[in-house]
Chain A
Amino acid sequence: MIAAEVVEHAGNGGFARYAWIVALLPFVSTVLTLFFGRRTPGKGAVYGITAIGVGLVLSLLVLWNFVQDGPTVHDAVDWFSIGSLRMQVGQYVDGLTAVMLIVVTVVSLCVHVYSLGYMHGDERYTWFFVVLSLFTGAMANVVIAENLFQLLVGWEVMGICSYLLIGHWWEEHANSSAAIKAFLVTRTGDIPFTFGIFALVVATGATTSSIPAITEAAERGELSIVWATAAALLLFGGAIGKSAQFPLHVWLPDAMAGPTPVSALIHAATMVAAGVFMIGRMFQVFLHADPIVLTIVSVVAGITMLIAALLAMIQGDIKRVLAYSTVSQLAYMVAGLSLGEAGYTAGLFHLFTHAFFKALLFLGAGSVIHAVHTNEMTEMGGLRRPMPRTFWTFLIGSAALSGIPPLSGFWSKDEIISTAFHEHSYILWAVAAFTAILTAFYMTRAVLLTFFGEYRGHGHPHESPAVITGPLIVLAALSCVVGFLNATAFNIYEFSEWVHIGEGEHPPFNYGFAALSIVGAVLGIAAGYRVYSRYREPEPLRALGPLYVVLENKYYLDEIGWRGIVRPVRDQVSAATYWTNQHVLDAAVNATAWVTRKVAGVANLFDRRVIDGAVNAAAGTAGFTGGLLRYLQSGNVQRYAAFLFAGIVLLAIVFTRV
């Protein structure tokens, strides 16, 4: 084992200091596309592509800082304070951040370019790009977030963008339902996540939610076991929701109702990876919690891995195969992380490589769907001849996923499997190995059904235009190459340098396990070929009988959800709330109104009788006295003269005698 010397260069972080620009640019392009998109030639896609293109260049420069062993960058500005809690906005850029930025910008850029072709002619074309840019900005924000609340903001914005994008064609009821389901299920995971953040903030003295501050406190052992365990479990809840682990995995297959570029970006490479990323970020908390936490994590991962792979085997919709595959692979990443320090790098490396080939697979599936206008593999077949570029890139992607060396999937998945064994998690190892075989099987099935045999559809498929196949080629190339960033067989540990916990052991390459993995993959492929080389109706796997029925109904989880949660809440809880509103709240309001009316009545009475009475009485008195006085006016001049003279006499008396 060669321990690489990690020399901390006393640099200032180079371009890593500008990582925040990568997060800012997509927000700028969101605003620009929103306001000026329709009027720009090309309908506004240019803003997003430019922003992310620049972001990609910048991300490479950020990574360069870490290639040169530069330091982590930590900047924050105060926003406001609540009591002793300081809310800040900032960036925390370490190796993990750098590689995640690469993932986000590369995949996002490929998806943007791809969408130029795929979404061409769509009536909400500009809006699509607005939300894509917004999403990219949010994900980048999550990746560079300096503190947990900033991360939470990006997290939630991603949730909204996911909802908006899944429901892009909301005119179909199925699409809008899927969007709501995705949003609500991930939200269910977000509740424990938020409480996990609160727990960590409180545990560190309620002064900051800064990630480095919290992780360093955990590392130094300042977090009590109780707090750390509680926080870790709650945070993991968020990861379960966002990264579609059992039991909150149900939304991901339905999310395939969205356009394929969305599936590639959000539901393969980035948003679902955010849960895994978050665990990686807060790993010190997990490490310093009770060991039961990591056990729970690995159990969940193991279950998810297996059930998802089983479900992938029987899907007829090509995107659903890939969706369940994603769930399964995410479980691999979580499983890797659950192995503790040893599995940290492996799990995150798999995240890195998976992003590329899964995005490739989705985009390839999109290309196929675009050509044959259906998702169902039963109506495809023999497409390798009319669509060669799509075929070859898809093949490379499936090979990478299946773990065929020297493609990237092999290096990352094998790492996890062997680490599991080394860490004595034998059950996990067995499950992971079996799942790898299943993975190879269902991907072979997908490839055979789609590209081989005779075309069973009704259209005239032809190769997709360059804007679609271009990104496919790029991603295929990356899928071939990025594995070598951590090709332990050749003692390349670049990725481990960037992303590691602790001193980062570099486990040697175990040829035995590698051979086992390759054998497993080949077994899976062979089995797949055996069953599906000739297209047969009905689906051959129906031979599994009742097991097939269970799989077909997705383990009846959806029924449980509907009957156990949705219907009671919708019908009974809502009814109770309605009753309370009508009889309690409205009663209070109406009572207040009644009292006010009565008071107003009294006031009215007072005003009319007393006040108006006084005024009327004054007027009446004036009138009455006037009525009396008018009798003085007799019209008789002599009478007036009499008064006059009488007055004179009186005045004379007064003036002379008084």
Chain B
Amino acid sequence: MTGQEWMFVVLGLIGTVAAIRLVTTREIVHGALYLTVTLSTIAGAYLIMAAEFVAWVQVLIYVGAIVILFLFGLMLTRAPIGRAALDNQQRAVAAVIGLAILGGLSYLLLEAFPWDSAERISGDPAGGTAGALGESLFRDYVLPFEAVSFLLLAALIGAIVLSRKDDRAR
């Protein structure tokens, strides 16, 4: 285990614990904050994996925008402040399913890429620079890029339409 690996393990643990806290906490705003923690640790993981552009995009968008969105949503829907019953009836089933998926996925992944295999993630930062990404994005994947921008426009309009008050049809 190299030092980077230890680093990754620590970040991973923090992220996982925060995620677990997100899905089990009884205070909803705490949940949003736990989400922030998780997202940040993920950004850190990206950095360790030398995907710096993605890491910063993660921070900007996820941590910066999406979490704020969530907080706005909580505010607008009068989320309960303080302790509240936030779990539904099928917790047990959900736990079972979650554990099953964890077990299944882990098993599959470890079977394909064992712990002791010689495969390593290269730490070459050149593969994750903004320039490299930009090149790829605007050369090879320009069409999906435009499509996604279209999608974002649609989402924007949709959100506005959905959330405006219906004054006319009263």
A638 CB to closest chain B CB (Å) equals: 6
A656 touches B108 (CB 8 A): yes
A649 located at the interface, meaning its Cβ lies under 8 Å from any Cβ of chain B in the complex: yes
A631 CB to closest chain B CB (Å) equals: 15
The listed residue (B90, B104, B108) touching A638 by CB distance below 8 A is B90
Interface string of A617-645 (1 = CB under 8 A from B): 00000000000000000001011001001
The listed residue (B94, B97, B104) touching A652 by CB distance below 8 A is B104
B87 CB to closest chain A CB (Å) equals: 11
Contacts of B104 in A (CB 8 A): 649, 652-653
B137 CB to closest chain A CB (Å) equals: 31
Given A642-B93, A656-B108, verify A649-B88 contact (CB < 8 Å): no
Contacts of B93 in A (CB 8 A): 642
A603 located at the interface, meaning its Cβ lies under 8 Å from any Cβ of chain B in the complex: no
Q: Which residue of A lies closest to B90 (CB)?
A: A642
Interface of chain B residues 88 through 143 with chain A (CB within 8 A): 88, 90, 93-94, 97, 100-101, 104, 108
Given A653-B104, A656-B108, verify A642-B88 contact (CB < 8 Å): no
B97 touches A645 (CB 8 A): yes
Distance between Cα atoms of A572 and B70 in the complex (Å): 114
Q: Which residue of B lies closest to A645 (CB)?
A: B97
A642 touches B108 (CB 8 A): no
A549 located at the interface, meaning its Cβ lies under 8 Å from any Cβ of chain B in the complex: no
B111 CB to closest chain A CB (Å) equals: 9
Contacts of B90 in A (CB 8 A): 638-639, 642
Distance between Cα atoms of A636 and B88 in the complex (Å): 11
Distance between Cα atoms of A648 and B104 in the complex (Å): 10
A649 touches B97 (CB 8 A): yes
A642 touches B94 (CB 8 A): yes
A576 located at the interface, meaning its Cβ lies under 8 Å from any Cβ of chain B in the complex: no
Q: Which residue of B lies closest to A644 (CB)?
A: B97
Given A652-B104, A656-B108, verify A638-B97 contact (CB < 8 Å): no
B108 touches A645 (CB 8 A): no
Distance between Cα atoms of A646 and B104 in the complex (Å): 12
Number of interface residues of B (CB under 8 A): 9
Contacts of A636 in B (CB 8 A): 88
Q: Which residue of A lies closest to B96 (CB)?
A: A646
Distance between Cα atoms of A652 and B102 in the complex (Å): 12
Main secondary structure of the interface of B (DSSP, over half): helix
B90 CB to closest chain A CB (Å) equals: 6
Contacts of B100 in A (CB 8 A): 646, 649
Q: Which residue of A lies closest to B93 (CB)?
A: A642
B97 CB to closest chain A CB (Å) equals: 5
Distance between Cα atoms of A638 and B94 in the complex (Å): 9
B94 touches A649 (CB 8 A): no
B101 touches A645 (CB 8 A): yes
A657 CB to closest chain B CB (Å) equals: 10
Contacts of A638 in B (CB 8 A): 88, 90, 94
Contacts of B97 in A (CB 8 A): 642, 645-646, 649
Contacts of A653 in B (CB 8 A): 104
Interface string of A269-283 (1 = CB under 8 A from B): 000000000000000
Distance between Cα atoms of A636 and B89 in the complex (Å): 11
Contacts of B108 in A (CB 8 A): 652, 656
Q: Which residue of A lies closest to B108 (CB)?
A: A656
Interface string of A5-34 (1 = CB under 8 A from B): 000000000000000000000000000000
Distance between Cα atoms of A645 and B100 in the complex (Å): 10
B113 CB to closest chain A CB (Å) equals: 15
Interface string of B52-92 (1 = CB under 8 A from A): 00000000000000000000000000000000000010100
Distance between Cα atoms of A646 and B97 in the complex (Å): 6
Contacts of A642 in B (CB 8 A): 90, 93-94, 97
Q: Which residue of B lies closest to A650 (CB)?
A: B100
Interface of chain B residues 138 through 159 with chain A (CB within 8 A): none
Contacts of A648 in B (CB 8 A): 101
Q: Which residue of A lies closest to B94 (CB)?
A: A642
B102 CB to closest chain A CB (Å) equals: 10
Distance between Cα atoms of A638 and B104 in the complex (Å): 21
Distance between Cα atoms of A448 and B45 in the complex (Å): 160
A410 CB to closest chain B CB (Å) equals: 129
B27 CB to closest chain A CB (Å) equals: 21
A646 CB to closest chain B CB (Å) equals: 6
Distance between Cα atoms of A645 and B99 in the complex (Å): 11
Distance between Cα atoms of A642 and B101 in the complex (Å): 12
Contacts of A646 in B (CB 8 A): 97, 100
Distance between Cα atoms of A645 and B94 in the complex (Å): 9
Distance between Cα atoms of A649 and B104 in the complex (Å): 7
Distance between Cα atoms of A359 and B107 in the complex (Å): 134
Contacts of A649 in B (CB 8 A): 97, 100-101, 104
A178 CB to closest chain B CB (Å) equals: 100
B4 CB to closest chain A CB (Å) equals: 31
B100 CB to closest chain A CB (Å) equals: 5
Contacts of A652 in B (CB 8 A): 104, 108
B135 CB to closest chain A CB (Å) equals: 37
Distance between Cα atoms of A90 and B88 in the complex (Å): 113
Distance between Cα atoms of A639 and B88 in the complex (Å): 10
Distance between Cα atoms of A638 and B91 in the complex (Å): 11
Q: Which residue of B lies closest to A639 (CB)?
A: B90
Distance between Cα atoms of A638 and B93 in the complex (Å): 11
Distance between Cα atoms of A645 and B95 in the complex (Å): 12
Distance between Cα atoms of A646 and B90 in the complex (Å): 13
Distance between Cα atoms of A648 and B101 in the complex (Å): 9
Contacts of B88 in A (CB 8 A): 636, 638
Distance between Cα atoms of A638 and B101 in the complex (Å): 16
Interface string of A480-507 (1 = CB under 8 A from B): 0000000000000000000000000000
Distance between Cα atoms of A642 and B104 in the complex (Å): 16
Interface of chain A residues 290 through 328 with chain B (CB within 8 A): none
Distance between Cα atoms of A152 and B100 in the complex (Å): 111
Distance between Cα atoms of A653 and B101 in the complex (Å): 11
Contacts of A645 in B (CB 8 A): 97, 101
Distance between Cα atoms of A282 and B35 in the complex (Å): 135
A91 CB to closest chain B CB (Å) equals: 105
Distance between Cα atoms of A651 and B108 in the complex (Å): 13
B29 CB to closest chain A CB (Å) equals: 22
Distance between Cα atoms of A638 and B108 in the complex (Å): 26
Distance between Cα atoms of A649 and B100 in the complex (Å): 7
Distance between Cα atoms of A646 and B100 in the complex (Å): 9
B80 CB to closest chain A CB (Å) equals: 19
Distance between Cα atoms of A638 and B92 in the complex (Å): 13
Interface string of A208-228 (1 = CB under 8 A from B): 000000000000000000000
A635 CB to closest chain B CB (Å) equals: 13
A656 CB to closest chain B CB (Å) equals: 7
Distance between Cα atoms of A632 and B88 in the complex (Å): 17
Distance between Cα atoms of A649 and B105 in the complex (Å): 9
The 5 closest A-B pairs by CB, nearest first: A649-B100, A645-B97, A642-B93, A652-B104, A646-B97
Cβ contacts A to B, 6 pairs, < 8 Å = A638-B88, A638-B94, A642-B90, A642-B93, A649-B100, A653-B104
Q: A649-B97, A652-B108 are in contact. List 4 more A-B contacts (CB 8 A).
A: A638-B94, A648-B101, A649-B101, A656-B108
